[in-house]
Structures are given as structure tokens and as C-alpha cells.
Amino acid sequence: MAPSYKQQQKKKARYIRSETNDKSLNKGSILNVSEFLNSRSFEINELTKAQLNAKFSSSTRAFQSLPRKLRRRTASHNVKRIPKRLRKRALREMQSNTNDNEGTGVVKKKKLPIKGKQIYQLKMRKNLLTLLTAMNQEQRKIIDNNQVAKLNFKNLKIRTRIKEISKVLQNNKNLMKVNNEIGSFDNTGLNKYAAPPVGKMKYYKRQREFAWLSTHVWHAKRAHMIKQHGFQIPLAPTQKIYKLAHRNFHYKGGMVWDKSYFNALILSSDNQSQIVEVLETLTGGKTKLGKRYLQNGGIVTKLIYGSDGKLLGPVEIISLHYKTKFNAVLRLHPSIYQPVFDHILAVKPESVLLQDNRYSIGSLEITGPNALKSLTTVLKPFHTKNSEAEAWLKLANEVNVPDGIIFTVQMKDPRLVNRKKVPKDRSVDLNDLLIEMKTNKTTLNEATIEKFVTPEGREESYRDQLSLKSIGKLKTQAQGSTPINNIANFPVIVYKTNNIWKLLAPWYWILPIWQPLNHIAHLNFGGVIQERQLCFEKSQLNYPKDYHFTRVGYQENEMNGALTLDKWNRKPKSKRFNYERLKLNISEKKHFRGELGDWSKCDWRYLQLLRYAFAQLAAVNGGEKINERKPPVVTRTSNWDQLFNREISQQHDVYSFVNDIVQFEKSKKEPLDFVPIELTSVTQHQVSPPANVDSPLQVTAVKFTLIGNGTLKPNARVYSLPDPTLQAKKPTWNPHQRQPLLGEEEDDKTQIPVPHSQYLIGFVTSGNFNLLAGENTGVGLIATEFVQSVENNNKTVLVRNVGTDVVRMAKFEVVNVV
Amino acid sequence: MTTRIKKQPKVEGKIIKHAPSKQFKYTDSETILNIQSKTPFISAVKRITKLLKDLPKRQPKYTYIIVKGSGRALERTLSIGIHFRDVERNKVEIFTKTLEVLDEIDAGDEDEDTVLKKRKVPSVELHIYRSVYD
């Protein structure tokens, strides 16, 4: 019997090479010293190598030969989680493993405890599935999406279910013909919503409420998933990836995301002004769309507003035109897709066609120095002679490409192409090429755009799309030597914004791109958390996490707060920090104790009420702030006006007023029906504090950098400087030359005292040690009135993390939202 | 022959400066260091020392590492080179070059497209060899 794989490995490892035919000893009695030494050093090397080999040959297991990023969870124990080609070896290893609990080392087949009726049910269920999946295999027909949605299986017994389905199958009207063997089809809604994709019948029930991406099964094995906004979204890889992701973004390799859950819709018309009108109603008439963005290939990101005039979030608009048709492709976060779609449907003229492309256009995002190179190794142009294909190949290895570059190329099936790297072409001046691309739009192909934008074009792209089985057959026939001719090709839009390459393609072509892309060295996949990390490192706001001034962002903040609170509540009393006993400001401790607002979140309602109440108090006192050094004057108890509102005329009224409303809203146990903050531009006009209880606080997005020691955490409280003398004490800002820190001077060893709550101006939405900046940074929102009041060279605030009484000084800078 | 770089005429509007063309190779991350005008001197020296130390282990085919700097970082790059030549006693080769970069000129009018223009930047490249004493 031939020796097993492991036996071979062990034999190999134990074999030590030596130089038996020693040249140094051959010349009679004379010893050639240098040759003698060489042979000995060779033998010593071999000996040490053999020791290591022997060690590793017995300690490596089958699953360890896979790169870490492609390993699956629990792969070490479950043979089925290992790629098929390694399964035999893994099984053998499991069997020879004598360290398992039973000591037998035999992998037992689990016996299912099923009998009579259950066996019958399982058999029937199997029939049911084969009935449905056989359809697309043989006849190239699948059930219409809408028909599946109508089937209500809930209370039916299996026999009835099979009957129901065969009824549907008998009626030819309920069936759709597809042009390929794997059941891909273009699922677009024209002027209406498209029905969610059904997927394979076996997994139909699991994706009824939250649609699967085309890469769902791949992701589910390697990442944590969340169900949100009608999709199942990868949250983060199971592999620990924080530092690796940072390196991928900026220095080595790259990171890729499947962003198919980012929804697309397309507006098309013969008359461009009609599209512009629709788009400008979305932007609330606040921003005009310049011709720069409306020309063919123009890309822009704007903030959009709902039909009620409230800010919804950012949208990416790509203008793609062909022949006489003008098109605008809109990409939106799934949380705001429905209100935008409904709004457009209500305002658009009839001649404008609105496509719902949620389930018909997929997208990838890829960033890092290796981004474009990875894309060009996987995606090879179908028509190599076209100008856009030539530019694609010339630019293939480039790292630094300006934002706004766009390609529209017809690509080959990535599973069949020869995935060699594109060789460097030194004769090309890339700068000239980029200038030419920008001025002459040589990379925009109208035929490709038409195929991408129209439902018929996307449908056509699936023609003869092969299954993995057929690809395997073709590859064995070709035996790796002759190139495989396959007519399948599909349109791809690739463009770069915000230093991220984005790829749009028909929905069912994303998986064929995704699989080979993930085999490229140093390219890792990411999830939502990695996306947040990238934004944080660049000090940009991430939607919806940092967009607390939108409905969705506000809800996300509330939800995260509730989760933190729940986790805290489940701890034993002795193990949880008591935020209510926290002593902050000395002059305020008579009135209240504990953290300002809810400690688990950025408590915007609390801040808005507090700013309102202190403004009221200042108005009574003739515009003066409270003097903390003086003991508070209490001349009377609370007063109420005729409408039973508390009158604010003394300091203690403020706390009671805020507390009343907060407690009342808490007791209602319903979320607030409005967002208590609103984003405003600093340059617009002078902003004043909230005029009444229901008017939102005006805020501005800023980034913070700590001066000196300390850390910056999410939900940290931000204060304005209460004492002008503190500014004089501010260490001069030079990160590379360490100045004596605050409290380090000999004459003043005390820390900065916690400011009075009247100086509270905002919260940090995300803060951490920033690996890119090499120091603690954060982004957050602070009151616009404060930003307007400070001079440019004095942009300093005080920051205090939740649950602490240590105040740090931080520099802030206004950042652009979008 | 040296080519003199002409001073560019002043342009109206916002200028977005783009980095010079670069092709990514994994070995570059272990053999090339770019110096910026804001790179602290000692950090650069420490990083180069580390790259040199790791070179035989990571990239045994390479005998030197490349340190690049251009424009405002010329002076800093050269002073790093001098430091390695005179203080650390490494063999240092200095090459001068001219890089071509792209400037994107945004005149502020959103109806007009931005314009890409080429600009030449003086640049210097150091080859720092491993010290014979290591």
C-alpha cells in the first residue's frame, strides 16, 4: 500500500541531507580547509532544518494550510468546514487524534433519532425542494418572484404545500424563462418596487424579511452578520483585523467590501432638465447641481432631504448617458431608500422612468494601495481593442489615481480568465493618459453604459452564465493550456471617490468577481465595522453612525445606548460602575449628582433642553452667565405659569425643568418623535440657542485632537472653556516637542476642574486612538453658536469621558459633512 | 545636464495636488521609505535603521533601502542621508531626479469641469546600504 500523505510528510521531514562525497578529503593527505568548512556548515544547516521540519510536520493540520483570511469558523473540529480537496486529509487527522475526550479517535456518524412519521415528512420535504430546484436546471425556468411571495406556507401541511406548488408550476404564466443555467435574472421594478429575491428554494424562508446578498453564503462562513434595513449585512470578519485593516487601508495590500446592500436606483429621460428638477427637489433646493456633475461620467455626493424637508442622509449621484437618453444612477444607504423612492415617485414627471435596482445592481468597494491592481488582475476586458479597455490595462498597476476617474468596460467572466497580473508598460506616460481620460472621456463607452443602465442589457449579460460545475468541466477539458472561449460578458462601472474604488455590476455577477478577488494576497474583506474604522481614521463622519442629526443616525445612537445599558444592567451590582454617584462640579453638587444626561449615549435631548433652559435663565439675569464662585441664590421654591410650565428664573429651576421633561419622556417609553438636533453651516448666519422646548439645537460636525495626555472615547462630554485664563495655560501645539502638560507646572499642580454644566456644548460620537494620526482623535457634534463665537486661532474645547472627572483639553476643527 | 524647473504662473481657484505616479509592489513596503516635509527627523532615522536591520531577513535580495523625498522635503531627505553617511557610517548614494505630478485646478464654478495640469517637482533618492559593521 502506498504510504499516506502524512506518512510521506513525516518521512520527508526525517530525512537529513549530508555531503557524503566530501571534496575536501579527496586530495590525499591535504585538507582543503574552506571546502571542508563549507560542507560542515551545509550539514549543520540541514540538521537544524530537519529538526524544524520534523516538528512542524507533526503539528500542522489540514485547515492550517489555508490562509487565515479564508479559514472558516470551527474548521478545526468540523471536517465539512474544510475545502473539499483537503477533507480526506482532515478526516484522517481527526481519526488519528488520540487526544479527544473518548480516547477512541474515531469520528462517529451521528445517528438522527428519527422514526416513522418524521422520516415521511423529511422525504416529502425533499420532494418539495427537488420539484422546485429541478426547474432551473433542466428547463431554464424559474418561478416568478411575485408568485413566490404569494405562496403562504405558514399553516399548511407538507402534502398541501406540494399540491400548492405543483398547481403554480402547472400554470405556465407563473414561470419565467431565464437565459442561463443558474437562474440569474434581472429583478428590476419599473416605476414600482421590485419583489425581494427568492434565492434557492431550500433557503427561501431565511431570506423573506432580510434579503441575502449574492455573496451571503461565502460571508456567513467567515464573518459575523447583522440583519438590518431589509438586508443581511456582513458586520466584521471573524478574524481579528483591527491593525491589519489599518495597514490594508494605507500601506500594504487592500480591503474589499461587498456593498450590494447599498441600494441603487436609476432615473432616465430624454430630457435632462426633468432629471435635474427631480434631483434638486431631493437636495431641498439648497444645493444646485453644476454641469460638472451632470455631464457624462460626472460623480457627486450630496445631502438629501425628505418630502417633509428633514435631512435624510448622503446620496451618490452618477450621470451616465447614451445616445439620446440621460440617466442618473443614485446610490443610497438602505435605511433611507424607501422615503427617497416614494418621494421621487410622487414628484417625477411621467416621461421620467424610475428603476428600482435594489436587487438588480450590486456593488463592491475596494481601497488600499493594491486596490486597482487587484481589480485589473480579476477583471479582463472583453473587447480589448476599445479605448476604455486599453486605458484599463495601461492604468492597471497604478496606486495614485485622482478621484473622479470613471471606467465603463465590458468584462469577461472572472472565473474563466487567466488571472495573470497585467505587465507594466513603461512606454506610457500615465499623467498624459489621465489628462486625456479627463478631457476627452475616452473611458466612457456608450454601448456599455446602455447595457448597464437598461434592464434588457443587464438581462442579456447573464446569457450563458455558467455554473461552477460547467466551469470545472471546461477547465478539465482545456487542461490549463488552451484558453477557454466563453461568450459571457457583462458591463462594469468602476470609479473612484474619496480614495475608494467602487464597482457597479449586474447583481448576479458580483459573486463571480468576489470569489477570485478574495484569493489575492494581502487583500482582505471587511464589514460595516471596518468601514467605520476607515472613516474614523480619516476623521470623516460615517453614515449612519456619526450622523446623529438625521432620523436614522439618531435612532442608531439610541439603540446603541439601550444595548450598552442592557449589558450594564446584567452585571452584578458590585461589578458595575455607579454613574449616579459621580461628583462633577463643586458648585452644582447641591442640585444634582451623577453623569450629565444618560451616560450610555450622546444624550442630545438633555443637551438641547439644558441649552434652552440656561438661555432662558440668562435672559432673566440680563444675559449674564452663572457665577460659580458665588453660592447659588435660592429665594423661593418653584413657580408655574398659567399653562403649568415651570418658570425659569433661578439656577435650581433649570435642573428641575430638564429633569421634569426627561423623566416624563422616559415614562412614556416611546421614542422621541423628532430629532432634537439639526445640522447647520457655520458660515450661514448667526445661530441662537433653541427658542422653545421643541425647537432643535443647531450643531456643527467637528474633529477633535487631544492636546497632551489622555484618551478620547465615544459619548465623551464636550465643554467650552469656562475660564479665559485656561487658554493662556494651553500648551503650545506641537506634537513632536513635549511641552509641560497641564497640571505639570510647579506653581499649579491641580487638574482642570470639571466645568459647570452651563458650558456643555456637545458630544464625541466616535473617539479612539487613531492609528493613522498616531494620537487620540475623535469626531463629534457641538453647538454651532459656540463655533461661531470662537476666534480661528482659539479653537479649543474641554473633553471629559463618560464616568470620569478628568477633563482634557482638545483642539477642534470643523469638518465637511459628505 | 540639469533641467531648470520653471516657476509656475499663479492660478486662480483651488488647487488639489495629486501624488506622483506609483506602482504598488509588496517588497516596496520593506525597501522604500518616503519622506514628507512634516516627517520628524529622528522618526525617519529610526525607521530607516529598522528597515536596514530587517532587510536580510525580509528581503535578502536587496542590499540597500531607498529613501525618497521631493519638493519641500528635499532638505530633510538630504540631511537624513548625510546623517547616515557621516554619523552611522553607512554607504549612501544620492541621485537627483525630476518628478511629474498632476495638479487639479478647480476654478470654483461647478458648471465647469476641473482641469488636470502637469507640474514638475525636484526630487532626490538615497540608496542607503547596510553598514559593514553590522
Q: pLDDT per residue over A572-581, tens digit each?
A: 999 999 998 8
Cβ neighbours for A498, distance < 8 A, ≥ 6 positions apart: A301, A403, A540
CB contact under 8 A, A290 and B110: yes
B chain contacts of residue A432, beta-carbon cutoff 8 Å: 118
Residue pair A628/A565 in contact (Cβ under 8 Å)? The answer is no
Decide if pLDDT at A750 tops 90.
Answer: no
Smallest CA–CA distance, residue B17 to chain A, in Å, is 9
Nearest to A505 by CA among A404, A363, A331, A376: A363
Chain B residue with Cα closest to A439: B115
CA dihedral A588, A589, A590, A591 (to 10 degrees): 60
Other C-beta atoms within 10 Å of A89: how many?
Answer: 19
CB contact under 8 A, A252 and B20: no
Q: Could you report the per-residue pLDDT of A552-565, keeping only the tens digit for each?
A: 999 999 999 999 99
**Residue A528 DSSP class:** H
Mean pLDDT of A473-494: 82
Q: Where are the domains of chain A?
A: 5-96, 256-537, 551-570+577-676, 697-732+747-814
User: How many residues does this entry show for chain B?
Assistant: 134
* Residues in chain B whose Cβ is within 8 Å of chain A: 16, 18-24, 26, 29, 40, 100-102, 104, 109-118
CB contact under 8 A, A252 and B29: yes
Share of chain A above pLDDT 90, in %: 49
Other C-beta atoms within 10 Å of A702: how many?
Answer: 24
Q: Which residues in chain B belong to E strands, given as ranges? A: 14-17, 32-35, 64-70, 92-106, 115-129
Q: Where are the alpha helices (DSSP H) in A454-550?
A: 455-461, 468-478, 510-517, 528-537
Q: Is the minimum CB–CB distance between A12 and chain B shorter than 8 Å?
A: no
**Total CB pairs under 8 A between chain A and B:** 67
Residue pair A523/A374 in contact (Cβ under 8 Å)? The answer is yes
Cα–Cα distances (Å) from A427 to A89, A335, A417, A424, A497, in that order, read: 49, 48, 26, 9, 28
pLDDT confidence band for A54 (50 / 70 / 90): confident
Give the residues across from A224 on adjacent strands. A236
Partner residue opposite B23 with nearest CB, options A253, A398, A438: A398
Q: Could you report the per-residue pLDDT of B67-77, keeping only the tens digit for each?
A: 999 999 999 99
- CATH number of the domain that residue B89 is part of: 3.30.110.20
pLDDT confidence band for B83 (50 / 70 / 90): very high
Residue pair A760/A807 in contact (Cβ under 8 Å)? The answer is no
Mean pLDDT of A632-659: 80
Cβ neighbours for A409, distance < 8 A, ≥ 6 positions apart: A379, A381, A382, A386, A388, A389, A392, A443, A445, A448, A491, A492, A494
Smallest CA–CA distance, residue B118 to chain A, in Å, is 7
Picking from A377-381, A634-638, A725-729, which range would have the lowest pLDDT averaged per residue?
A725-729
- Answer with the residue of higher pLDDT: A493 or A141: A493
Give me the pLDDT at residue A393, please.
93
Mean pLDDT of A504-523: 94
In a domain, B5, yes or no: no
CA dihedral A441, A443, A447, A450 (to 10 degrees): -80
Decide if pLDDT at A222 tops 80.
Answer: yes
What grid cell was written down for A618?
Answer: 440668562
pLDDT confidence band for A105 (50 / 70 / 90): very low
DSSP string, A69-96: GG--TTTTT-GGGS-HHHHHHHHHHHHH
Residue pair A380/A467 in contact (Cβ under 8 Å)? The answer is no
B chain contacts of residue A399, beta-carbon cutoff 8 Å: 22-24
Other C-beta atoms within 10 Å of B93: how many?
Answer: 13
| Interface-testing mutation among B18, B24, B103, with chain A (most A C-beta atoms within 10 A) | B24
Residue pair A182/A232 in contact (Cβ under 8 Å)? The answer is no
The dihedrals phi and psi of A67, each to the nearest 5 degrees, come to: -60, 145
CB contact under 8 A, A404 and B19: no
Long-range pairs for A307-311: beta carbons < 8 A, 24 or more residues apart: A307/A339, A307/A342, A307/A343, A307/A346, A309/A284, A310/A550, A310/A551, A310/A675, A311/A549, A311/A550, A311/A678, A311/A679
Looking at the domain A697-732+747-814, which fold is it? Elongation Factor Tu (Ef-tu); domain 3 (2.40.30)
Residue pair A160/A326 in contact (Cβ under 8 Å)? The answer is no
Mean pLDDT of A249-278: 94
Give me the pLDDT at residue A138, please.
56
CB contact under 8 A, B40 and A736: yes
- Answer with the residue of higher pLDDT: B15 or A73: B15
Give me the pLDDT at residue B54, please.
92
pLDDT confidence band for A10 (50 / 70 / 90): low
In angstroms, rounded to a whole number, what is the distance separating the alpha carbons of residues A368 and A245? 10
Give me the pLDDT at residue A737, please.
43
In a domain, B1, yes or no: no
Smallest CA–CA distance, residue A298 to chain B, in Å, is 9
B chain contacts of residue A496, beta-carbon cutoff 8 Å: none
Sign of torsion over alpha carbons A107, A113, A115, A117: negative
- Answer with the residue of higher pLDDT: B11 or A539: A539
Residue pair B68/B77 in contact (Cβ under 8 Å)? The answer is yes
Partner residue opposite B26 with nearest CB, options A288, A404, A522: A522
Partner residue opposite A434 with nearest CB, options B24, B40, B102: B102
CB contact under 8 A, B29 and A397: no
Partner residue opposite A373 with nearest CB, options B20, B24, B110: B24
CB contact under 8 A, A399 and B113: no
Mean pLDDT of A200-207: 76
In angstroms, rounded to a whole number, what is the distance separating the alpha carbons of residues A299 and A331? 11
What grid cell was written down for A313?
Answer: 442622509
Decide if pLDDT at A817 tops 50.
Answer: yes
Cβ neighbours for A293, distance < 8 A, ≥ 6 positions apart: A299, A300, A317, A319, B110
Sign of torsion over alpha carbons A771, A777, A781, A787: negative
Residue A623 is which amino acid? G
What grid cell was written down for A144?
Answer: 416568478
A chain contacts of residue B118, beta-carbon cutoff 8 Å: 431-432, 435
pLDDT confidence band for A734 (50 / 70 / 90): very low
CB contact under 8 A, B113 and A295: yes
Chain A residue with Cα closest to B112: A292
CB contact under 8 A, B24 and A399: yes
B chain contacts of residue A522, beta-carbon cutoff 8 Å: 26
| Interface-testing mutation among B21, B30, B39, with chain A (most A C-beta atoms within 10 A) | B21
| Interface-testing mutation among A248, A375, A429, A434, with chain B (most B C-beta atoms within 10 A) | A434
Smallest CA–CA distance, residue A299 to chain B, in Å, is 11
Residue pair A293/A228 in contact (Cβ under 8 Å)? The answer is no
Q: How far is CA A636 from the centre of its chain?
A: 55
Decide if pLDDT at A532 tops 80.
Answer: yes
Q: In the 3-class helix/strand/coil scheme, how is A557-607 assigned residue by residue? A: HHHHHHHHHHHHHCCCHHHCCCHHHCCCCCCCCCCCCCCCCCCCCCCHHHH
Partner residue opposite B112 with nearest CB, options A252, A288, A292: A292
In angstroms, rounded to a whole number, what is the distance separating the alpha carbons of residues A675 and A605? 8
In angstroms, rounded to a whole number, what is the distance separating the alpha carbons of residues A548 and A672? 13
Among left, alpha and beta (phi > 0; psi -120 to 50; other), residue A243 is alpha
Give me the pLDDT at residue A802, please.
94
Q: Could you report the per-residue pLDDT of A761-807, keeping only the tens digit for each?
A: 999 999 999 999 989 999 999 999 999 988 877 789 999 999 998 88
Decide if pLDDT at A503 tops 90.
Answer: yes
Smallest CA–CA distance, residue A710 to chain B, in Å, is 22
CB contact under 8 A, A397 and B24: yes
Smallest CA–CA distance, residue A252 to chain B, in Å, is 7
Give me the pLDDT at residue A736, please.
44
Picking from A61-75, A635-649, B113-127, which range would have the lowest pLDDT averaged per residue?
A61-75
With residues binned 3-state (H G I as helix, E B as strand, rest as coil), the percentages for chain A, rounded to 5, are 40, 20, 45
In angstroms, rounded to a whole number, what is the distance separating the alpha carbons of residues A312 and A257? 24
Parent domain of B70: 15-129
Nearest to A411 by CA among A515, A491, A485: A491
Mean pLDDT of A674-701: 90
Picking from A489-498, A521-530, A790-799, which range would have the lowest pLDDT averaged per residue?
A790-799
Give me the pLDDT at residue A492, please.
97
Decide if pLDDT at A526 tops 80.
Answer: yes
pLDDT confidence band for A379 (50 / 70 / 90): very high
Smallest CA–CA distance, residue B14 to chain A, in Å, is 15
The total number of structural domains that make up chain B:
1
Residue pair A268/A449 in contact (Cβ under 8 Å)? The answer is no
Please name the residue that has the C-alpha cell 521631493.
Answer: B70
Other C-beta atoms within 10 Å of A410: how many?
Answer: 20
B chain contacts of residue A434, beta-carbon cutoff 8 Å: 102, 116
In angstroms, rounded to a whole number, what is the distance separating the alpha carbons of residues B12 and B89? 48
Smallest CA–CA distance, residue A714 to chain B, in Å, is 29
Decide if pLDDT at B34 tops 60.
Answer: yes
Q: Are strands A807-814 and A697-706 parallel, antiparallel or unpaired?
A: antiparallel
User: Hey, which of A261-265, A466-470, A519-523 has the most confident mean pLDDT?
Assistant: A261-265
Give the residues across from A314 on adjacent strands. A303
Give me the pLDDT at residue A567, please.
95
A chain contacts of residue B111, beta-carbon cutoff 8 Å: 290-292
Cβ neighbours for A235, distance < 8 A, ≥ 6 positions apart: A223, A224, A225, A226, A527, A528, A529
In angstroms, rounded to a whole number, what is the distance separating the alpha carbons of residues A132 and A162? 10
Give me the pLDDT at residue A287, please.
75
Helices A272-282 and A337-347, interaxial angle, to 10°? 130
Give me the pLDDT at residue A735, please.
42
Smallest CA–CA distance, residue B35 to chain A, in Å, is 14
Cβ neighbours for A312, distance < 8 A, ≥ 6 positions apart: A303, A304, A305, A306, A336, A339, A340, A550, A551, A552
Nearest to A432 by CA among A394, A376, A382: A394
Smallest CA–CA distance, residue A396 to chain B, in Å, is 9
| Interface-testing mutation among A299, A400, A426, A496, with chain B (most B C-beta atoms within 10 A) | A400
The mean of the pLDDT values for chain A is: 85
B chain contacts of residue A295, beta-carbon cutoff 8 Å: 113
Interface of A with B in 705-724 (CB under 8 A): none
Residue pair A354/A248 in contact (Cβ under 8 Å)? The answer is no
CB contact under 8 A, A400 and B20: yes
In angstroms, rounded to a whole number, what is the distance separating the alpha carbons of residues A164 and A156? 9
In angstroms, rounded to a whole number, what is the distance separating the alpha carbons of residues A404 and B86? 46
Q: How far is CA A448 from the centre of its chain?
A: 28
In angstroms, rounded to a whole number, what is the distance separating the alpha carbons of residues A732 and A738? 10
Give me the pLDDT at residue A486, please.
79
Chain B residue with Cα closest to A398: B23
Smallest CA–CA distance, residue B21 to chain A, in Å, is 6
CB contact under 8 A, B102 and A373: no
CA angle A439, A443, A449 (to 5 degrees): 120
What grid cell was written down for A57?
Answer: 510536520
Decide if pLDDT at A56 tops 50.
Answer: yes
User: Hey, which of A138-152, A353-367, A741-755 has the most confident mean pLDDT?
Assistant: A353-367
- Answer with the residue of higher pLDDT: A740 or A53: A53
pLDDT confidence band for A747 (50 / 70 / 90): very low
Smallest CA–CA distance, residue B132 to chain A, in Å, is 22
Decide if pLDDT at A29 tops 80.
Answer: no
A chain contacts of residue B104, beta-carbon cutoff 8 Å: 402
In angstroms, rounded to a whole number, what is the distance separating the alpha carbons of residues A274 and A342? 17
In angstroms, rounded to a whole number, what is the distance separating the alpha carbons of residues A662 and A693? 12
Q: Could you report the per-residue pLDDT of A323-375, keeping only the tens digit for each?
A: 999 999 999 999 999 999 999 999 999 999 999 999 999 999 999 999 999 99
Q: Is the minimum CB–CB distance between A370 and chain B shorter than 8 Å?
A: yes
Decide if pLDDT at A111 tops 60.
Answer: yes
Sign of torsion over alpha carbons A333, A338, A342, A343: negative
In a domain, B134, yes or no: no
Give me the pLDDT at residue A26, please.
64
Decide if pLDDT at A733 tops 50.
Answer: no
| Interface-testing mutation among A247, A430, A733, with chain B (most B C-beta atoms within 10 A) | A430
At A105 the three-state DSSP class reads coil
Smallest CA–CA distance, residue A13 to chain B, in Å, is 24
CB contact under 8 A, A400 and B21: yes
